[in-house]
Each structure stands twice: as C-alpha cells, then as structure tokens.
C-alpha cells in the first residue's frame, strides 16, 4: 500500500483500526498473553478418604496435586521419570547434565553458586496461587527486573535510518518520545492552536507539567535531553516512530516498579519444587518412566520402567492424575475414551530453548549500568536475551544468551558449540565484551530434552480445553497444558486445583 | 496574585520562568540534591610509613579512613564512643537500645530477623565508592524500590477538589496525566490543529504511538483508563494539575527500573560497617568518648573517657583524623586554628528522625499490592512513610512509619508513645489496618541520640567546605559533614578518600 495515495484521515482511521503498531516486539509473546489470575485456593474438606491416587510427573502440577492430596489424607504416589523434581522448573547448576534426544551430552561446568533457570523463570504478583505456595513452603522471593530503562534495542534495518545498527537505550526512547510529544503540545499551546477545555490557570499548570515531565526548556519549550538520559544527543523522531521502539513507552507498563511487579525465588526457580519435595516426604518414586495406563471400572494400573534397572514395574490405585507433558502423554499407551484420545493428540507445545552463558565478570553492570531486564532485537535472532536479576555486583554471572524458539536461525539442527557460537557472535554486536568474558555455556532445547520433548503447552482452543479438563473415567489431566495458562507456573497450579477439587468431590460424594 | 488578571502569555512565561511547580513534593528534598558521583578510588602507594594515626569515630567515614590506612600499612587506632561500629549506618534489631538525651530509654522488641535502618538506608548505583566497598568486603546488595506505581498520594486540601482526602495511586496519576496529554494531542491532530514537521506517514505512526502509549480508544481517540490502572474511573484533570501529583510523572525518573537503580545491603545497612570491622581486626577501641584533642608540632594527643570505667585515658599519634559528627566535634576541646574553629562552629546538621513499626502481617503487600516505595503526603505529617524492599511476602514486616524532621508536628517534644500514636493515627487515614496490625515501635530522633546529637550534616557553603577540607596542623576532618554530599554514605567515602590521600601524600613527601 502506498501511504501517499491515501488521505490523511483514511490513514489515521486505518491505523486506529489496528489499534497500534503491528510490528513484532520480541521473540516471546507470552508476556502479553498471561490470561486471568487464579481465584483463591479451593477449600477442600471431608472425612479421611480411603482412596489411592497415582500422580504422574513431579513437575509443578504433579507436586501440587500430590501435596494437596496429602493434606486431605489421601494415599498417593507420584511417579517421576527423572531422578529429581521440577520438570520445567529446572535450574541448571554445576554438575547437572542431560543428553539431547538424538544428540550430544552436556555436563554443566558453571562455578558453584552460578545457575540459569532453563524453564520457568518469572512470577508476576498477580499469580497468587504459586506465590501462596512460596509463602506456605518458605521459599523466599526477590524482585525480577522485567524491564529496565538501561536496556538496549538493537535492529539492523535501513528503514530505521540513523537508528539502524545502533545500541539504543529504552531511556533514550522514553525521553525522546515523551519529549517530542510534550514539545509538540507545548508549541501548539504557545501558538494558540489548542482548544483545551481548561481554565487559564489550569493551562498554566498544564504547561508546567509538560515542561517538567518532558524535560522541555522552561523558556522556549524545546525538548532538551536530560542528564538521566545518559547522552545529550537525541534520536531522529521520524526514525524513532518507524522503529516502533516506542512500543514499550506507555503511561503504565507491567513489570518491576509498575502495577504488577514480578518475582523469582532467591537461589533459582527449583527452590519451589524442592520445597514441595521436602513437604511431601517419601511419596515420590524417581526413575519411573511411565509406559501404559490401563483403567477399568475397578481402578487404574500404571506400568512403568525403572530407569535404573530397566525392569518394568506397576502401581495400582483408584485414580490416576496425569501431570505429564502432553507431548509425553501422547506417546503413552492409555485406554482413553476416543474423545479424550483425540483431544490429547491435538495438543501442541512450544519449542522454547534457553542458553545460559557464564561470564567472568558482570560487564553489563560494570560497563553498561544494566541491572536485569532484556536486550530487545529481532535482527540478532537471540529471542529474549536477558540479564540476571540476582546477585547484583557479585563477581561472575550467567546471562540468558538465548530464549526463543528452538528452531530459530536453524539452531535446533546445529551442534551445541555452533549454537553457542551463533549467540556469542550475535550478542557481540551489542556487547563486544562477550567473547573475552565468556567461560561456560549450557543449552536446553526443550524439544530435545528426554521426558519433556517440548516446553510449555500451546493454548488449546476452548473446546479442546473443555475436553482436557474433564475426567476420563478414572484418569484426570492435571498439568498446565490442560489449563488456560499453559506457559505459566500459575497454569500448573490452576489445573492441579481443578483436578484435586473435582476428584475430592467425587470421592466425597 | 490573581491569575485571571494576567494574559495567557504572561502566565505561561511566568510559569516557564520558575521551571515547573514550586509545591513541595515531600518531606526530604535530599534525593534531588545528591550532588556529583565520586571519581575512582585514589590509588595510593609508597613505602611503609612509620606513622601512627588516630581516627575518631567508627561510622562509615572513620571505618573507611582506618581501612585504607591499614592497607597502606599505617599504625592506626579508631576510637569509638559506642560499643559497636556504624554511626548513622544503624540497623535497629531486637534487643538494641538507647536512651534519648534528656529522655526515655527504649529497648527494641522487634521479632528476630525484623529490623529498621534508622539512618542511612539507600545506595544509588551512581555511588560507586560505597558500592565498591560492598563488593570488596563481600556485602551482598539487593534492589531498593524507591518508587512504585502502586504507591499512594494522600492530601487533605479543598483546592484539590475530588482528590482531597483520597488515596490516589501513582499509577492512576500516570495513566490519567499521560492519557489526557496524548488525548489532547490526538484530538488536535484529528481536527488538523497541529502543524508538526512530520511526513503524513510519520503522523500516522505518531497517532499509533499516542493511542498505545496513552491508552486512547483506537477509533475516537478518547483516553480510557487501562486495566493496569486498577480502577476504571479517572480523576478530574484540573484537580490533578492543581495537586501537583504529576511531579513524579516524567519521561525519566531516577529510581528502581529507571536510569539510576538504588540498592540496599541484604539483611540491613549495618552489614557494611560490620564487614569493615571484620576486615580491620583489632584496630578499634570501643567505649572511647573523646574529650580533647591537643596537637603540637610533634604530634597529637587525644584524651578520651572509657565509658565502661568512667576513667580518662589517652592515645598519642602523629596525626589525628576526626570522623566524628560535626555536632559532637563542636563540643570537644580542640586546639584548632581560629579559622578551623570558626568553620566547625558554623556547621549545621539535619534533625532527621525515623520510626520503625513492626506489623503482624504485610497488609500493604497482601491488601494493597504495594512492594516497596513510599507514601507521599504533606497533610499527614509523616515525612517519607515507606514500605520495606526486603523479605517480600514473608510473615511480618517493619514499616518506616515516619522519616522527616524531628521537630515536625511537635513530635520532638512528645513522649515516645505519643509520637507512635501520632503516626498510627495519621497513617490509618491511608492504611486503616495500621492499629489492628501494629506490634512494636522503635523511634530514633537523631538530635536526641547520644554520640550523634543530630543526623547528617547540612551542606555547608563552598567557602566553609573549603576550610573543613584542609588539614589543620596535624588534625584532618574526614567525615561526611566535610564533603559536598553530607547526607549520603558516598559523602563519607569521598571525605575519607580525600583525607587519606592528603595525609599519605604529606607523609610520603
């Protein structure tokens, strides 16, 4: 479409109709797709049920199901294929290892105390379900900096003019965008162009606000970049508009210091599953790889392979709650109803991947004054490159060098060293210190992780979700993938609560 | 002045001339008066000096002087009147006590683990001197939330119309102010009133920015309060303008997430002096109340009273560095030159006071969604009431119920229980939970604290500062009061560095 051939009004209307810019802001859209917060935790009571439940998977949903069943005095057993709890709540530390499906083995050689949250990593305050468990189980939380004015944009795009190939700070964009807006309005007021429904005195106060808020010169009302901006130049306003860097410049923005602060467990995300494990005693069987689920009118029989001996074992119970990833459940032999089998078969999952990069020193803090937040770039093909919000000013640190789709830039098909090479090369365009300071990498491509074979589920449509949320005979699905917020820990909690509530109601009836 | 009798242009010009609103924003103006950051720490070398130095006071400046002298292999001794290090870096915890000068004794009965930073409490990232010592001495830092969109304004003032006596959130002010500004500009563009130097395409992008940034309706360009604002009403724009609540609504604002993040030591501010103490071994004599300083051409003799025995003792050395508060130094018998005696006599100090209030539960987090930051009110006469930035979501917490001038609202002359009563009554207007949840209070009115007799020094004029910065014979002043940033820990560091550098240069010459 040639913009010049439309009338100004048509253009304005057209733009208005799409409600803002349609440029893609970053790699992961999940942040804006958080869905609704949970209600309060259901209050479940009743006589001691003489009922046994098998819970499959010791990720956050399985742990929640087991923990709540335990509080209700159920006899329950959690079967977990790995030798540790957590599932997608995986904090990678020194000595941990995994072998990619059809690929290489990595052993983490980070220093002691260094870590990367390879899966779940941030908890918005609105997610009171998971936060409630952190309080109950004694997992201390700290702020997660989800946005910092010091963070950089970096795009290579001739359309961006002087901005192309430049490191542009959010604080520069904020100051220049608001400065330009307030300057435009102040100038229009100066020349009597504005017909605002304000008293003369209020107009004076308004001008005072514009001058102060936008850092305008108090005399001539021209915008002058403030000291806090960090440099006295200003970016070309037209280029800024075309860049869409202003997409994060809003009166309100969810994130640290904003209306909805974000948190993380001190010491890594897996502090949460570890706290559940401590609270649940010996109810978890590790190394139990589920092979089949057979239900009858009398009960459920789960056959699993003991990964240490290779021998098949079985567990029987009255009910079974699957908190396995849908990607795994799909492949297991279950005598579901045709409707449920079809629904499970239709589920999808994200191919998210993360790469932790241990650095000799926290150059982003020391040299760039960046304390948490992200690097925003589509050109670099790093997804959501991020800086740690923990252990500020300490000696070393682990950057999240890559967080995006596993297949982006052909990375999934590369050897691990080549994925790291890609990341170092690309990130060096913004942080030339990368190669000099790099020490160790660890890659988690979730599609290639045994017992996960994918990251979080993709939001199913409402009909599919309805099917997944219902019990199928004596089998329930309690994982985040069967919730409206599959990409969030809170989805795991919601699904677990729904399941335990329904099961307990049935048993108590 | 009657605004209606001036022309609009006159009004605008007059307003422009004062550069924004002149209403006082809060109790403590120090935040905007931070002064310049320090340069890098001076590099001092030289042969082992056969020189002894007495350092008076184990506050942050005295500790820094001693620590740096120790690294240069000086023979030094720090005399401290209290039985602990820290001075204004005082973190009050269970069991601590002090008796107000001419007044009551308090014993802190907070729970174990609860504390209030009664003096210094926040460290901006720009203050690399103190942050450098935290790194060097292993004091971990965490974010200090100096501003949160969830924070309240509260003013009782008929001029504010519907805002008077209301709890108004910063996020409401931000959304409504920017919403109104962007709406004004968008409406002016719609009716062709704006003559911006932009291409037609850029104008479309500009409109898109206004719609998104200000939460305008994409069709009619009216501002509609966003969900993040927390309530769908909007405040009257004229009242908002008259309130000056918009003073914190700027394109850039120093603070958490902003260009200059702020930090605090994990576990309380006195972790810093304690770390210095550990590093300095047995160079500190506690319970040493300095009575006189006598210098001659040969050396310095300091007489002090041993507070445990009441007996006078003395210490001699080649040089003496006073890191005592000026309020204390003024009263000590020193044979200064007439110029220095006059300068010391002219120094002033802040009468700051703080009150910690332990609460049974963190209702500001649970009920109000406030995680750190302040309550802004001049009507309430509480100064800078603040919420803790540590131990989020834990069971209990200590509010900073009062931080302002000691004499405000007649508080200095009240009994401690009445000061607490004032604070509970006033703060209840914003937080009705205060009385129900209140457990313990601890008041630190610095004017009444023995061995301090005042809080931080008041910025002396340049001439006075010049005099205080010079050695007076064999006596140096190394306290924050003899720096350009007397209200900040960084001032203590700057003054200590200046002193050690000058002394070492003299000795090495």
Single out the residue of B159, B130, B365 nearest to residue B262, CA to CA.
B130
Q: Which two tokens stand for residue A346?
A: 């239709």
Q: Secondary structure of B189-246 in the HEC alphabet?
A: HHCCCCCCCCCHHHHHHHHHHHHHHHCECCCCCCECCCHHHCCCCCCCHHHHHHHCHH
Q: How would you classify the pairing of strands A288-295 and A333-334?
A: parallel
CB contact under 8 A, B238 and A209: no
The rounded distance, in Å, linking the Cα atoms of A308 and A288 is 9
pLDDT for res A33: 44
Sign of CA dihedral A370, A376, A382, A385: positive
Q: How confident is the model at residue B254 (pLDDT cuts 50, 70, 90)?
A: low
Residue B397 neighbours by CB under 8 Å, 6+ apart? B114, B358, B359, B361, B362, B365, B387, B388, B391
pLDDT for res B34: 54
Q: Which two tokens stand for residue B40?
A: 């890098």
Q: Which residues partner with A152 through β-bridges?
A: A169
| pLDDT tens digit sequence for B206-240 | 999 999 999 999 999 999 999 899 988 899 999 99
A247 part of contact set with chain B, CB < 8 Å: yes
Distance from the B76 Cα atom to the nearest Cα atom in chain A, whole angstroms: 30
Query: Please, how many CA atoms are within 13 Å of residue B120, restricted to the half-sphere of its CB?
Result: 32
Q: Which two tokens stand for residue B117?
A: 């930073």
Q: Select the residue from B182, B241, B251 to test the A interface by mutation, using most A Cβ atoms within 10 A.
A: B251
Residue B88 clears pLDDT 80, i.e. is over it: yes
pLDDT for res A15: 35
**Cβ B91 vs Cβ B63: under 8 Å:** no
The four Cα atoms A14, A15, A20, A22 give a dihedral, to 10 degrees, of: 80
pLDDT for res B9: 40
Q: Which residue has the tokens 């005095």?
A: A73
User: How far apart, in Å, are the Cα atoms of B32 and each of A228, B53, B299, B408?
Assistant: 12, 36, 42, 21
Strand order in the sheet with B141-143: B123-124, B262-265, B141-143
Q: How would you classify the pairing of strands A475-477 and A319-322?
A: parallel
**Nearest-by-CA chain B residue for A221:** B16
Distance from the A26 Cα atom to the nearest Cα atom in chain B, whole angstroms: 17
The rounded distance, in Å, linking the Cα atoms of B190 and B284 is 72
Q: Which residues partner with B304 through β-bridges?
A: B290, B313
Distance from the B481 Cα atom to the nearest Cα atom in chain A, whole angstroms: 26
Q: Considering only CB atoms, which chain B residues are within 8 Å of A20?
A: 208, 211-212, 218
Q: Where in chain B do CATH 3.50.50.60 domains reside?
A: 34-86+272-348+458-508
Q: Considering only CB atoms, which chain B residues are within 8 Å of A198?
A: 237-238, 241
**Nearest-by-CA chain B residue for A178:** B251
Sign of CA dihedral A317, A320, A321, A327: positive
The rounded distance, in Å, linking the Cα atoms of A280 and A64 is 10
Q: What is the secondary structure of B280-295 as a DSSP string? A: HTT-EE-SEEEEEEEE
Stretch (H or E) spanning B440: strand B438-445
Q: Where in chain A do CATH 3.90.660.10 domains reside?
A: 91-147+261-267+351-448
A34 part of contact set with chain B, CB < 8 Å: no
Q: Which residue has the tokens 């991947």?
A: A353
pLDDT for res B43: 83
Q: Considering only CB atoms, which chain A residues are within 8 Å of B181?
A: 181-182, 185, 209-210, 213
Q: How confident is the model at residue B38 (pLDDT cuts 50, 70, 90)?
A: confident
CB contact under 8 A, A17 and B219: yes
Q: How confident is the model at residue B12 (pLDDT cuts 50, 70, 90)?
A: very low
pLDDT for res B255: 56
CB contact under 8 A, A11 and B200: yes
Single out the residue of B372, B398, B171, B369 nearest to residue A128, CA to CA.
B369
Q: How many CB pairs under 8 A join A and B?
A: 285
Stretch (H or E) spanning A75: strand A75-79
CB contact under 8 A, A249 and B209: yes
Structure-model confidence comparison of residues B321 and A191, the more confident one: B321
CB contact under 8 A, A204 and B394: no
The rounded distance, in Å, linking the Cα atoms of B380 and B96 is 29
Distance from the B380 Cα atom to the nearest Cα atom in chain A, whole angstroms: 24
**Cβ A257 vs Cβ B147: under 8 Å:** yes
Q: Where in chain A do CATH 3.50.50.60 domains reside?
A: 45-82+286-349+456-508
Single out the residue of A215, A384, A185, A166 nearest to residue B259, CA to CA.
A215
CATH of B168-248, one of 1.10.3860.10, 3.40.640.10, 1.20.1440.240, 1.10.357.10: 1.20.1440.240
Average pLDDT, chain B: 90
| pLDDT tens digit sequence for B108-158 | 999 999 999 999 999 999 899 999 999 999 999 999 998 889 999 999 999
Burial of B298 (0-12, 13-18, 19+ CB in 10 A): exposed
**Cβ A34 vs Cβ A20: under 8 Å:** no
Q: Which two tokens stand for residue A428?
A: 């060096």
Residue B10 clears pLDDT 90, i.e. is over it: no
CATH of domain A169-248: 1.20.1440.240
Q: Where in chain B do CATH 3.90.660.10 domains reside?
A: 91-121+350-448
CB contact under 8 A, A12 and B203: yes
A70 part of contact set with chain B, CB < 8 Å: no
Q: Considering only CB atoms, which chain B residues are within 8 Å of A212?
A: 19-21, 246-247, 250
CATH of domain A91-147+261-267+351-448: 3.90.660.10
The rounded distance, in Å, linking the Cα atoms of A243 and A235 is 11
SS3 label, residue B442: strand
Single out the residue of A241, A188, A245, A228 nearest to residue B250, CA to CA.
A228
Query: Please, how many CA atoms are within 13 Å of residue A176, restricted to the half-sphere of its CB?
Result: 24
Q: Where in chain B do CATH 1.20.1440.240 domains reside?
A: 168-248
| pLDDT tens digit sequence for B180-202 | 999 999 999 998 888 777 899 99
Distance from the A268 Cα atom to the nearest Cα atom in chain B, whole angstroms: 15
Q: Where in chain A do CATH 1.20.1440.240 domains reside?
A: 169-248
**Cβ A218 vs Cβ B19: under 8 Å:** yes
Question: In this structure, what DSSP letter does residue B462 have?
Answer: H
pLDDT for res A25: 30
Q: Which two tokens stand for residue B262?
A: 């702020």
The rounded distance, in Å, linking the Cα atoms of B474 and A30 is 66
CB contact under 8 A, B393 and A134: yes
The four Cα atoms B406, B407, B411, B413 give a dihedral, to 10 degrees, of: 110
Q: Which residue has the tokens 């010459």?
A: B509
**Nearest-by-CA chain B residue for A149:** B258
- Domain at B91-121+350-448, CATH class: alpha beta
The rounded distance, in Å, linking the Cα atoms of A90 and A250 is 33
pLDDT for res A298: 95
SS3 label, residue B461: coil
The rounded distance, in Å, linking the Cα atoms of B224 and A252 is 13
CATH of B34-86+272-348+458-508, one of 3.40.640.10, 3.40.109.10, 3.50.50.60, 2.60.260.20: 3.50.50.60
Q: Where do runs of H (alpha helix) occur along A8-52?
A: 8-18
Q: Considering only CB atoms, which chain A residues are within 8 Å of B229?
A: 252, 259
In this structure, the number of other CB atoms found within 10 A of the CB of residue B104 comes to 12
Mean pLDDT by groups of 10 residues along chain A of 509 residues:
40 34 31 62 81 98 97 96 97 98 97 98 93 97 92 95 96 96 94 83 95 96 93 92 92 67 96 98 96 97 98 98 97 97 95 97 96 96 97 97 94 97 98 98 98 88 93 97 93 97 93
B149 part of contact set with chain A, CB < 8 Å: yes
- Domain at A45-82+286-349+456-508, CATH class: alpha beta
CB contact under 8 A, B210 and A247: no
Q: What is the secondary structure of B353-378 as a DSSP string? A: EEEEEEESS-HHHHTT---SEEEB-S
Stretch (H or E) spanning A464: helix A462-469
B113 part of contact set with chain A, CB < 8 Å: no
The rounded distance, in Å, linking the Cα atoms of B509 and B505 is 6
Q: Which two tokens stand for residue B301?
A: 């003799």
A35 part of contact set with chain B, CB < 8 Å: no
Question: What is the model's pTM?
Answer: 0.91
Q: What is the secondary structure of A253-277 as a DSSP string? A: -SSTTSSS-EEEETT-TTHHHHHHH
The rounded distance, in Å, linking the Cα atoms of B55 and B70 is 12
Single out the residue of A192, A202, A173, A206 nearest to residue B195, CA to CA.
A192
Q: How confident is the model at residue B86 (pLDDT cuts 50, 70, 90)?
A: very high
CB contact under 8 A, A149 and B16: no
Summarize the confidence of residues B173-181 as an average pLDDT. 97
| pLDDT tens digit sequence for B68-81 | 999 999 999 999 99
């Amino acid at each position: 479409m040639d913009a010049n051939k439309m009338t100004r009004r048509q253009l304005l209307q057209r733009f208005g109709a799409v409600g803002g810019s349609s440029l893609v802001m970053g790699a992961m859209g999940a942040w804006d797709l958080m869905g609704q917060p949970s209600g309060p935790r259901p209050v479940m009571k009743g006589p001691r049920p003489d009922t046994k439940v098998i819970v499959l998977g010791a990720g956050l949903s399985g742990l929640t199901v087991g923990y709540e069943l335990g509080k209700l005095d159920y006899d329950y057993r959690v079967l977990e294929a790995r030798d540790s709890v957590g599932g997608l709540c995986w904090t990678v530390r020194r000595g941990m290892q995994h072998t990619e499906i059809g690929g290489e083995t990595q052993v983490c050689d980070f220093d002691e105390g260094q870590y990367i949250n390879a899966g779940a990593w941030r908890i918005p305050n609105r997610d009171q379900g998971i936060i409630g468990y952190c309080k109950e189980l004694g997992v201390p939380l700290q702020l997660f900096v989800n946005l910092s004015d010091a963070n950089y944009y970096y795009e290579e795009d001739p359309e961006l003019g002087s901005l192309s190939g430049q490191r542009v700070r959010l604080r520069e964009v904020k100051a220049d965008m608001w400065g330009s807006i307030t300057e435009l309005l102040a100038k229009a007021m100066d020349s009597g162009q504005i017909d605002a429904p304000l008293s003369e005195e209020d107009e004076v106060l308004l001008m005072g606000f514009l001058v102060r808020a936008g850092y305008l010169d108090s005399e001539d009302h021209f915008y002058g970049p403030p000291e806090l901006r960090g440099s006295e130049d200003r970016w070309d306003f037209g280029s800024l508009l075309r860049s869409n860097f202003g997409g994060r410049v809003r009166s309100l923005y969810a994130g640290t210091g904003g209306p909805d602060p974000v948190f993380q467990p001190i010491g890594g995300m897996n502090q949460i599953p570890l706290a559940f494990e401590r609270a649940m005693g010996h109810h978890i069987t590790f190394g139990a790889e589920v092979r089949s689920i057979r239900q009858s009118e009398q009960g459920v029989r789960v056959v699993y392979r003991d990964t240490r001996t290779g021998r098949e074992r079985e567990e029987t119970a009255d009910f079974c709650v699957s908190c396995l990833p849908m990607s795994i459940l799909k492949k297991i032999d279950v005598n579901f109803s045709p409707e449920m089998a079809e629904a499970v078969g239709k589920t999808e999952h994200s191919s998210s991947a993360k790469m932790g990069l241990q650095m000799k020193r926290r150059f982003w803090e020391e040299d760039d004054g960046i304390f948490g937040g992200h690097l925003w770039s589509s050109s670099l093909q790093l997804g959501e490159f991020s800086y740690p919000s923990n252990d500020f000013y300490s000696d070393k640190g682990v950057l999240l060098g890559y967080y995006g789709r596993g297949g982006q830039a052909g990375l999934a098909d590369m050897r691990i060293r080549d994925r790291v090479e890609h990341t170092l090369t690309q990130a060096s365009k913004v942080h030339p210190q990368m190669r000099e300071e790099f020490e160790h990498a660890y890659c988690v491509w979730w599609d290639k992780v045994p017992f996960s074979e994918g990251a979080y589920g993709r939001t199913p449509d409402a009909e599919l979700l309805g099917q997944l949320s219902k019990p199928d005979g004596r089998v329930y699905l309690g994982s985040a993938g069967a919730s409206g917020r599959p990409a969030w820990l809170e989805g795991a909690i919601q699904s677990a609560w729904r399941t335990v509530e329904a099961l307990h109601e049935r048993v108590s009836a």
